[in-house]
Structure 1
Amino acid sequence: YIFFLYFLSNKCNLDEQKKLLSKTLKIKSCDGKNIGTYSTASLLALSIIDLCETFYCHLGVNVPDHAMTFRSLCNLLQDSVTPFVVSVHAKECADPVLVINLTLVCQATLTIRIIGLLQKCTQVFPQRTESLTNSDLPQSLPVVVIFKDFEAFNSQVLQDFILICSRYTQELPFIFIFGIATSPSAIQHRLPHSVSSLLCIEVFHSLSCTQHLASVFDKLILNSQFPFKLSSRVIQVLVGIFLYHDFSVQNFVKGLQFSMLEHFKSQPLSMLCCQKQEALLSAKTLSKKNVERIRHLPSFMRYVETQEPQEQVQLLTNDEHVKEVCQQLLKNLHKYHKNYYPILQCLHSLTSSLPKFPLGKHIRELHVSCIEKNLWETEEYDSTLLEKESRRTKRMNPFEVLRSQVIEFIDSLVREYLTPAELQPLNEVCYYNSSGVLRQRLNVTPRTSIQAALSHPFYYLQNESLKTDAGTISSAAPDLCIVYKLHLECGRLINLYDWLEAFLTVMSAAEDQDTNSEECGKYDSLKHARFIQAVSEMEFLGFIKSTKQKTDHVARLTWGGC
């Protein structure tokens, strides 16, 4: 997604508009130092503006995030550039008059608010009323019009609106922001030269969605300050949905929030998933029931097996001793996280520039590998580091000796601090690992739900007349349910006339007609229309499609219905 910022101007005041651009909006590179000075909420808003009128435009191809991005952009422009900001959709602007009306309404409303604030200030400080001049009023502030979906706008509407506004640029400066989803050539295709020549064009390219995702990982997941953690499988589910479904950072954060809610709901010992001091206080006051839950944790059971026989007896019988050991294990777990992330970042910095990225291009890939298995036992890790045998057989220069020492030191740190998270006692307290539940909630299969609803409408409509035995069709069911159940009895190709006859037979039962009478099976225009509508809905839902193999037939697309 690319943003184009247009300053409406004519030939006589083009330089003035450029000066206005340089004063109001300045593009600043997005480096790590700048990002670190902002809060996580500002980072997730995908656009940041500081007090020095520095503008950040962070956009991507993630369509689900566009609404949030535009809202954030409007708010930030109002706070730092001008209060006169209006955002318009193509469906709201079928005529240039509508665009002008929206713009004027926005400007009038904000002007009233500003005048009201100035009046309040003069009431509080009456001595400053005399010193208040016309220069204190926002007369020369630009009006920003954001066209969210530029390609969807009618070309003639855009041309007329730009031409009308060009006549008033001396009195009222305009700033246009065009949201373009295709390519910059869309401007030339939709606006003639006579119109585009009135615009001073500045192009703002957005950061990629994966860069935003990396920022979220650095701030929320790869951070020892947050006690809640995700297992490797849960991370793979969330990243998979992000990469292969929507490219939405907002949805990724929602998935992270859902994981947190599910963890604190399903894990009773999540009360210990908090900051270090709070966790230690909670461990001191564990109830007998929670002590038993700790004893049944797989990681704690493995820990007990490694202890001496006398210590094992104490851990299995003495609750107070378990509380003391639990406090020490929580300290070790927090220490593990504190040491883990710096070493992980160090290893990623050393290996991310290697050819073919043996340990992953992104730090999240390396993180997943580290928390699910011993990294030093993988072939990728061996191929990354130099073989010790080759170092011994060759005579090395001072640089190679120093490099060998550094690699050995890094290898020792990896083996000591980058151990899998599941090997840490009490890891279940902080780590959420129900990837199946998460996939079921976030990556749903709508076809299964639709088939269940069409096969068993009673459970959705709660109508007693819809209760049926297995293999039967209720005549009181909606037309779509009747047509769906009838199509389950057919093969790959369905004859529309036979399908209609079966539908009319079921409808006759609903009207209490004798199935052996001559009237049964006859259809009127209303029943015929209902059947056509139901078949059209079946095609829309993807259960059937038209075919040219046989006349008056449709092809069945799904099998194994409920």
Structure 2
Amino acid sequence: MEDKKCYLYAPPHLQPGHAPKRRRLVNTGRPRTWELREHAFHEAWAQQEHQIQDAIEDADRSTLEKIAAFVSGVVPGPRPDRPPIPTGLVITGPSIASHGPFFRRMSDKIIADTNSIFVPLNSAECPNLKTLLKTLIRKATSGLPTDEDEDELLHSGAHKTGSKPLDYDLCLLLDWYSRTPVDKITIAIQDSEGFDDSIIVETIELLSSWSDRLPFVLLFGIATSADRFQDRLTGAAILLLEGEQFVVEQAEDSLEKIFRATVEGPQVSLRVGPNLCRLLLERHSDHSQSTQDFYDALKYAYMCHFYANPMSVFLNGSLAFDQINHGTFEALRTLPSFRNHVEALLEDGSTREIHSLLDSDQFLFANIKQHLELGQTALSRLVSAIATVVVLRNAVWKTQQVRYSSLYIRSASGDLYGSPLTRETLLMVRKASSDTFSHVLASLASSGHSGLPMDIGSYQQALADLTEHSTTTSEPLKSHYDIQSNTLRTTLVAQKVDLSKHKSTLSKQDAAYSDLVGRFHDELEAYLTEALIDPHSLYLSEILLYDLKSPHNEVFAPKPRFAIERALSSPHDYLNCTCCAESKAEEGHQLSVSQPPSAILYQLYLESGAMLNVNDLWLAFNAITGNEDSQAEDVTTSLFQRSLAEFKYFGLVKPSRKKVDHVSKMMWKGL
């Protein structure tokens, strides 16, 4: 709607001698720390937004560069010999929600790197060939500025007989091309599966017949596979194309990179908790959402934390003590993590520090700043340890690959350390052969994680010295922890078979390699034990983590029907008026004249059957709200008609064809 509704308030006329009623004003001014929290939000989200944009661009950079190079490598200008049309088959994957943003980035890349016009087409705006040509000409001619407007372009394309070409005639596009500096026309069909097979074939044949006058480049977005797309085309249409295939990174992999960018790094001041992470990832998977939806949900989480949590003011890097009032410190002393911290100090006998925390706001302020830095360091070590586990599982062969997001959810819940997955990873490293161990060290060195306490370079040098002096260069070195180095011996004693396990004799190089792997395993296990902590056990975890699901459920997965039913059945929950509250407290949901007309009619609606007699509804409604005055009856009639019209708008009732004076009931409460 272009115009917004406004309401005029006309106060009642006062009788002489009566003073006007004074309104009770409640001071609802903004808190003192509002501006500080707003500054902290913009500071924290600017860093996150930069990392997310870098992750999105990095995910598609290689594919976009290949597509731009393909378009740029096409011979510019029309060719009289009518060669096959250069065609790019872009395998975008099944996530339809990510196709639009990808093609927008593709458009920006092609326009910036090539001397070409980019024309995107989709099945919704091109139901047939004629509409496709109209859309193609309209988008192409409006893509670059020319010296002529659309009417002059139509007039310039007129034939010598004086007749104008139709708006789907490619002569218009030819006249426009002759007046613009572009040398190629790139047509991108985003959702090729949404087009009918005949439309695609006819489009290819028509564009091929014009290829000696117009230089076309086709890009087909394919959600399935190139073979399935080829099966939809005729043999003659395939011969008119010269294709090259481009595979786009899948939406799940792109989301993993974006998610990883939001939790890694020492610059991240706020991290999302496990429950909210699980909710966002499940919603993205179940509803095939795009990365922009995940971006919006994450930004909303930041806004909820900084705008609704007064304690988030301490994440402001330039915060001073005199900017915080005493009430904020008193609220912080009620946090569960603060109570746990005080109890831990009490067990250690630090009673003087406890008194300072409870009595001195300035001492508490310094303590908060110190422990926030320690907490952020601990969380950085946690996400670094998660990345180490991911690298180890990817480097060790014959292990099941696990996504980073799932490991983060488990670690943020405190369930990762000591789990079967962690024990299996450590065991596989301990039993790894020399070639596998070398691959593990190379992967850790190339990952760039600075949180590892062990010196990877020294381990690589020691392993290189062992393999260089190995007598059996064809076989890798084995660890004595490997089960393959154990043998079973069978001994017959007193007519009984005795099975015993013995370790195979290891060479000197194998024994030295076993010591090297054992030392690396012990250091790795100690590092994971220290790093994989439960984030909720940290002091001031309520400030460092945000893990509330209810705001996101209400905003991103609303329940409008439940809200409407609740408003109609319990208007007091929204109006907060005393009249509805009294009627509600008397006997359940008893009808009262003080209730809104829609609420009264809804109670009558619930008590009726599948067919509602409108006259009976009116009589019952009038008996509750009306009186014997004829003028008041007109008002009651208008209220009844308005309420019934609202029910029809909400879909609660609809006219019945069986009986003229009846309406059909469409919804039942709670079903």
TM-score band, normalised by shorter chain: 0.5 to 0.7
2:468 matched to 1:435?
Answer: no
Distance 1:108 1:351, change over 3 A: closer
Q: Which amino acid aligns with 1:506?
A: L
1:241–1:443 CA contact under 8 A, matched in 2: no
Local SS of the residue matching 2:145 = helix
What is the distance in 2 between the residues matched to 1:51 and 1:202?
10
Aligned to 1:41: 53
What is the distance in 2 between the residues matched to 1:440 and 1:314?
41
Q: Offset of 1:264 from its aligned partner?
A: 0.4
Q: Offset of 1:473 from its aligned partner?
A: 12
Structure 1 stretch 410-419 or stretch 254-263: which is displaced more? 410-419
2:315 matched to 1:273?
Answer: yes
Aligned to 2:110: 77
1:271–1:282 CA contact under 8 A, matched in 2: no
2:304 matched to 1:262?
Answer: yes
Aligned to 1:165: 207
1:150–1:179 CA contact under 8 A, matched in 2: yes
Q: Which amino acid aligns with 2:554?
A: Q
Local SS of the residue matching 2:212 = coil
2:101 matched to 1:68?
Answer: yes
Mapping 1:276-355, distance limit 5 Å: 278=317, 281-282=319-320, 285-307=323-345, 308-352=350-394
Distance 1:108 1:209, change over 3 A: closer
Local SS of the residue matching 2:187 = strand
What is the distance in 2 between the residues matched to 1:317 and 1:291?
10
What is the distance in 2 between the residues matched to 1:506 and 1:356?
72
Mind listing any 5+ residue stretches in structure 2 that lack a counterpart? 1-49, 71-87, 150-178, 431-479, 483-500, 624-640, 655-663
Q: How many pairs does the alignment contain? A: 456
1:92 aligned to 120, 125, 140, which one?
125
Q: Which amino acid aligns with 2:530?
A: E
Aligned to 1:414: 528
2:402 aligned to 361, 369, 376, which one?
361
Aligned to 2:137: 104
Distance 1:436 1:349, change over 3 A: same
What is the distance in 2 between the residues matched to 1:149 and 1:473?
57
1:85–1:145 CA contact under 8 A, matched in 2: yes
What is the distance in 1 between the residues matched to 2:331 and 2:649?
55
2:321–2:362 CA contact under 8 A, matched in 1: no
Percent of aligned pairs sharing the same letter: 19
Rg comparison, structure with higher value = 2
Q: CA RMSD in A?
A: 4.6
Local SS of the residue matching 1:376 = coil
Aligned to 1:130: none
Q: Which amino acid aligns with 2:406?
A: E
What is the distance in 2 between the residues matched to 1:63 and 1:284?
52
What is the distance in 2 between the residues matched to 1:179 and 1:375?
40
- CA offsets, 1:477-524, max 9 Å, x none? 89xx97x8778558xxxxxxx733545632676799xxxxxxxxxxxx
2:272 aligned to 222, 230, 236, which one?
230
- CA offsets, 1:50-99, max 9 Å, x none? 69955897844332333322322222221123441112233433443443
Q: Which amino acid aligns with 2:542?
A: E
Distance 1:536 1:110, change over 3 A: closer
What is the distance in 2 between the residues matched to 1:312 and 1:288?
18
- CA offsets, 1:91-111, max 9 Å, x none? 433443443333334443445
1:88–1:145 CA contact under 8 A, matched in 2: yes
Aligned to 1:370: 411
Distance 1:501 1:78, change over 3 A: same
1:299–1:424 CA contact under 8 A, matched in 2: yes
Q: Offset of 1:373 from its aligned partner?
A: 1.7
Mind listing any 5+ residue stretches in structure 1 that lack a counterpart? 1-37, 117-136, 491-497, 513-526, 541-553
What is the distance in 2 between the residues matched to 1:386 and 1:154?
55
Q: Which amino acid aligns with 1:63?
A: I
- CA offsets, 1:333-360, max 9 Å, x none? 23323433333211222235668968x7
What is the distance in 2 between the residues matched to 1:183 and 1:114?
43
2:249 aligned to 207, 211, 215, which one?
207
2:651–2:666 CA contact under 8 A, matched in 1: no
Aligned to 1:402: 516
- CA offsets, 1:425-445, max 9 Å, x none? 222222112123333332334
Q: Which amino acid aligns with 1:301?
A: R
2:271–2:545 CA contact under 8 A, matched in 1: yes
Distance 1:219 1:381, change over 3 A: closer
Distance 1:539 1:218, change over 3 A: farther
Give the TM-score normalised by structure 1.
0.67
What is the distance in 1 between the residues matched to 2:67 and 2:123?
33
1:232–1:372 CA contact under 8 A, matched in 2: yes
Aligned to 1:25: none
1:272–1:282 CA contact under 8 A, matched in 2: no
Q: Which amino acid aligns with 2:129?
A: P
Give the TM-score normalised by structure 2.
0.57
What is the distance in 1 between the residues matched to 2:187 and 2:233?
17
What is the distance in 2 between the residues matched to 1:488 and 1:313?
61
1:96–1:157 CA contact under 8 A, matched in 2: yes
1:375–1:381 CA contact under 8 A, matched in 2: yes
Q: Offset of 1:223 from its aligned partner?
A: 2.6
Local SS of the residue matching 1:204 = strand
Structure 1 stretch 302-311 or stretch 434-443: which is displaced more? 434-443
2:426 aligned to 373, 382, 385, which one?
385
Local SS of the residue matching 2:186 = strand
What is the distance in 1 between the residues matched to 2:650 and 2:351?
72
1:487–1:499 CA contact under 8 A, matched in 2: no
Distance 1:408 1:268, change over 3 A: same
